[in-house]
Structure 1
């Protein structure tokens, strides 16, 4: 009987995990749009999710980048007004597009928005744009973090290979022994192998061995 009444595990919320709406609470938002009824509606919807939202108009030369989410009115030169380079955004960007006025597809693409919100606004459209923007922004930020870690790993590998070559040339060590030396030094000093390798390379270059060999 107990098993019949128990809620299926697949439908349970993970323990301790916030829902998407809960994650929106206390986020900051900037709305760069004219002060009209539609903008007031958008601000109210964001505040309904307990977000701290403020409105700015006229369109500034540089769109603020100090908020978690930026809602910005479409303009043909929007990409130029953003305070970051494409692919390195500091805020989730939602572009507000007009209902009938034509827009330039290239201009919209160059702004690399995380979502768009078309006028006239609705409750569902605002929530959808917000969830999509935060999700896309988070995904891209995780990708950038992975790329940075990969770059760091590649730099570390190159540094270790360089240090091994130095030890093999200056101490006549076989490759395996040179690598073992780096690892032992790292363990003794409780630092990474790349840190030891970097010290070896720096010392080698500081003493001017490159100019002697």
Structure 2
């Protein structure tokens, strides 16, 4: 077994799973297979508004007439969601999309396929989180760049100097204060806004 394969198995064994499904044979099958995989399993029905602390993955029965609007289903920091469905009609498929699921298992549940669904869902969820972080970081970088450009123009106008010189002034100030240029730029923009608001009409 490779180191990567061992890491996947170890990750699954440390998984805290929540099964949101009525108490019946399907739930017993799912709980049993998850425990055989090594997961810590909690179950509930109907779906609660708050999950057990530290829940990693939720197996959620998608039942449109009872589908609640739950905060953890739309939270960026929410768990991996594996939907459980019994039919494939338009109403169920719409509810499936709305659940933000990362994987699907189909009733009647069987032990075979649960492990594969769990691995793929966890992998997809992790990939999505990494992409979201990269996008957020890129947005922050772009905003910081726009703020610096705006601050450079403000300072150049105030001091009557070229923008290249205004840029160097902001950079020197950031170095001296040991902060980022965007922080200096934000302070400068804020000061400019205050001066505008306090100026007499």
TM-score, normalization: structure 1? 0.80
For residue 119 of structure 1, report the CA deviation from its aligned partner: 2.1
Cα pair 1:95 1:113 within 8 Å, conserved: yes
Higher relative contact order, chain-length normalized (CA < 8 Å, sep 6+): 2
CA RMSD of aligned residues (A): 2.8
5+ residue gaps in structure 1? 1-10
**Corresponding residue of 2:41:** 53
Alignment of 1:196-207 (within 5 A): 196-207=184-195
Please show how residues 110-189 of structure 1 align to structure 2 within 5 Å. Answer: 110-189=98-177
**How big is the shift at 1:141?**
0.9
Unaligned 5+ segments in structure 2 are none
Q: Which residue of 1 aligns with 2:56?
A: 68
**Structure 2: distance between partners of 1:44 and 1:126:** 11
Q: Which runs of 4+ in 1 moved over 4 A?
A: 77-80, 84-87, 100-103, 209-212
Alignment coverage as a number of residue pairs: 199
With normalisation by structure 2, the TM-score equals 0.84
Query: Which one has a larger percent helix, Structure 1 or Structure 2?
Result: 2
The Cα of 1:205 is off from its aligned counterpart by 2.2
